Amino acid sequence: MSVPSPENVRLAEDYVNRARVKLEEARRQMQSIQYDTCISASQECIELSVKGIFLMLLGDYQPQHEARESEFKRMLSSTPDGIGHIDFARIWMVNKFWATFYTTAKYGNKQLGVSAARLFRKEDAELALKHADDVYTAASTTRYWRLTSMARGKT
C-alpha cells in the first residue's frame, strides 16, 4: 500500500465531505419523491466515497465513474489491519453496479424517449440510498483510520 501524501489525504477528506453532502441530498430527494435525483445523488455519493477511499489507502484513484477491478484488487491485497472489517469487495460491486446508471439516472434514455423520472421507482431509490449510506460509512471509517494513523506517526 502506498502512503498518501498529506495533500492527497486533504483531497480525500474533501471527497468524503462532498459524499456526505450528496448523501444528504439523496435523502432529501427521497423524501420529496424525486427518485431519479435520489439515485443520481446516491451514485455521486458512492463515487466520491470510493475515490476518497482510494486516495486514503493507495494515494491515487482513476478518474472514471467506475473504479477498475485491478485497482480494487490492489487495495484488497494491502488492506491494513485497522480496517479489515470493511468489505471492500462489496464496495467494488456496489460501485460497479451504480456506475452503470450514471447517465441514465441523470438524463433518462433519449433513444427510448424516456426521462429518468419515468425509469426509476421508489424501491430503486431506496436501494441506491442504502448502498450510498454503506459506502459513505466505509469511507468515513477509512478517513478516521487514516487520520488517527497519521497522528500516531504510522502509515
Nearest to 62 by CA among 28, 92, 97, 29: 92
Average pLDDT score over residue span 55-84: 73
Nearest to 55 by CA among 45, 43, 69, 67: 67
> What residue ranges do the domains of the chain occupy?
6-151
Instruction: Please give the CATH architecture assigned to the domain spanning 6-151.
Output: Up-down Bundle (1.20)
- pLDDT at residue 108, rounded to an integer: 94
Query: Rounded CA gap, 29 and 36, in Å?
Result: 8
Residue 65: pLDDT over 60? no
pTM: 0.90
- % of the chain at pLDDT higher than 70: 90
Contact 41, 130 (CB under 8 A): no
Tens digit of each residue's pLDDT (9 = 90 or more) over 76-129: 777 777 888 899 889 999 999 999 998 999 999 999 999 999 999 999 999 999
Residue 57: pLDDT over 80? yes
Tens digit of each residue's pLDDT (9 = 90 or more) over 1-20: 567 788 888 999 999 999 99
